[in-house]
Structure 1
Amino acid sequence: MRERVLLFALAITLLADAGIAAPPPAPSVVTVVATGLRNDKGQVVCALFASDKHFPDGEHALRGDIVKVASRRGTCRFAGVAPGTYAVALFHDENSDKVLNTFLGIPREGFAFSRNAPPSTFGPPKFAAAAFRVVKGDYTLTVSMRYM
């Protein structure tokens, strides 16, 4: 009899524990709308980062997207984004060479960062300045392109 009670108690405990674990949140879609482009030439190159390591070097991005410019806007989408902290760097690639063209280190094409983070005195913002959190559900952010 005692064994039956123990087995019953164990079964109840296991069933109760099974219900505690919530399923992980579904992946999100992060949409970045770039506005304020100076023309409809070329494309917008976007890069999604999950840490400050190598931010904003697109070669080390978690994901990338390249979209055509239309009506002086570009909309990049990143599907399957897990909950976490991210930042986005993007530029208006007017000549479609997939490179942010510069002259003496000064960008000759438009650029932007999530949260409209301004560049630092001598370069891009820190990851923390551009960072945003994805918790659950889809996330859309609008950024304004900057030209020097």
Structure 2
Amino acid sequence: MLTISNARRGGLMVALGLVAVLAGSPAVHAEAEFEKAPIPEHLKGMHLSGRALELVAGRIDPSRPLGYCDPANQQPEIRVIVPNLRNGKGNLRLSLHSDDPSEWVGKKKGGKLIRFDVPAVAGRMEVCMPLPYGNGTYAVGIYHDENADGKYGFTSEGYGFSNNAKAGLFGPASHKDAAFKTHATRTDVKIDLRY
């Protein structure tokens, strides 16, 4: 007879919930359909999408790596700092969400404002994302897509949320726990990946 301790049962429920949200739920499949929206011509070939992409397209320089943090930037942006990528395989996928909890990870078709897939670098990474609506309240979800298949592998790939919010029992962290306010030109958002 198989018995699972409460701690392991909780971890299993979190893992199963994240699979449903990040890899296989209807909401995620609906988002995948939304991601087929047109990408501005000058950004084709870059790995990005999102419903607010057209609002920031002019602020993304295709001659620089996606997520480049330009020290001369004068427009509101966030700098996502991830200190603990365990290797340089695959991509780091970052999704920027608005202040609306109903548009948080897995909640609504096309809920993300912007999504970047940036080649992973072992150790510390910094990725800048322009803010489509200027300073305000946002939330970020990330995962280390080590095999670069665009799907979250719950048994092997790390994930994280802004404010280092913890995943819920059956899915992602709550929007309330992950939401943060931006200020000035650049707001730093540190996210530790959980593998």
Q: Deviations over 1:9-53 (max 9, x none)?
A: xxxxxxxxxxxxxxxxx7411110112122211110000000212
Structure 2 partner of 1:126: 174
Q: Once the two structures are superposed, what CA deviation does each residue of 1:54-96 show, in whole Å capped at 9, x if it has no partner?
A: 3113952011111111232333221144121100000000000
| Counterpart selection for 1:28 from 65, 76, 79 | 76
2:60 aligns with none
Quote the offset at 1:100 in angstroms.
0.8
Query: Secondary structure, in 3 states, of the residue corresponding to 1:53?
Result: helix
Q: Gaps spanning 5+ residues in structure 1: where?
A: 1-25
Whichever structure has more helix as a proportion of its residues is 2
Match for residue 157 of structure 2 among 109, 114, 120: 109
Q: Does 1:98 align with 2:150?
A: yes
Structure-1 residue corresponding to 2:12: none
Mapped partners of 1:59, 1:36: distance in 2: 29
* Residues 28-47 of structure 1: pairs in structure 2 closer than 5 A: 28-47=76-95
Aligned length: 118
Distance 1:98 1:131 in 2: 24
Tell me: CA distance 1:47–1:71, structure 2 relative to 1, closer, same or farther (3 Å): same
Is the contact between residue 110 and residue 146 of structure 1 (CA under 8 Å) also seen in structure 2?
Answer: yes
What is the distance in 2 between the residues matched to 1:78 and 1:37? Answer: 19
Find the counterpart in structure 2 of residue 70 from structure 1. Answer: 121
In angstroms, what is the RMSD of aligned CA positions? 1.9
Separation in 2, partners of 1:74, 1:136: 22
- Equivalent residue in structure 2 for 1:86, among 138, 141, 155: 138
TM-score w.r.t. length of structure 1: 0.71
4+ residue runs over 4 A deviation: none
Identity %: 29
Matching residue's letter, 1:139: T
Could you tell me how far apart the structure 2 residues matched to 1:44 and 1:73 are?
11
1:31–1:140 Cα contact (<8 Å) kept:
yes
Residue identity opposite 2:179 in structure 1: A
The letter for the 1-side match of 2:111 is: H
The more displaced of 137-146 and 50-59 is 50-59
